[in-house]
Amino acid sequence: MSLSSKSLAIVYHSPYGHTAKVASFITQGAKQTGIHVHCMNIEQVDWEVLDQADAIMLGCPTYMGSITSGLKQFMEQSSKRWLARTWQGKIAAGFTNGGGLSGDKLAVLQQINLFAMQHGMLWTGLPLMPTGRSSQDLNRMSSFLGLMTQSDNAPVEVTPPQGDLDTAIWFGEYVALLLNKFK
């Protein structure tokens, strides 16, 4: 099976646009490999696309050290798929954006990871060594469970910084290429 016949679904919740911006950069990275990518806001979820996808990436902002209520509602709506094991064996990954440098983003990735494990999915993290701590560096947050980006409570037009967006591209490409290792 060629890589172009594989598909990745990216589902995100983005009340202010920052997480949507990160999702678009993940999409850009994945598309560089020739894979088919479906990127959707949780308000326009296509459950059939998710059921057919080879990989599902989930993302949301970090709010008060937790996932958003919108992503939580999406998770609860997937219960019939959980019971039927519809997503079992699919690759899963997660991403989050927050205003603060920490903001407990790890807790959000852990919640998304646990959700994926409940569905029997195969989790992949972000196996990219940090290149530094400046806003231009890759994986400057030193996150390995998934992608973390920071918006510094600034407008979406100027943030997240370029290093975080470049890391999102890297992560999208990585997950897409990982699909090629599975038959």
pLDDT tens sequence across 55-98: 999 999 999 999 999 999 999 999 999 999 999 999 999 999 99
% the chain with pLDDT above 70: 97
- What Rg value do the Cα atoms of the chain yield, rounded? 15
pTM of the model: 0.96
Q: How confident is the model at residue 103 (pLDDT cuts 50, 70, 90)?
A: confident
Q: Average pLDDT in the 123-130 region?
A: 97
CA distances 105 to 9, 99, 141, 144, Å, are: 22, 10, 10, 12
Mean pLDDT, to the nearest integer, of 117-127? 98
Structure tokens at 56: 């599902």
* H/E run at residue 60: strand 55-61
Count Cβ atoms within 10 A of the Cβ of residue 90 and give its class: 0-12 exposed, 13-18 middle, 19 or more buried: buried
pLDDT value at position 153?
Answer: 83
Q: Residue 132 corresponds to which tokens in the numbers above?
A: 């530094």
* Contact partners, residue 123, CB within 8 Å, separation at least 6: 91, 92, 93, 113, 116, 117
Residue 43's closest CA among 8, 79, 14?
14
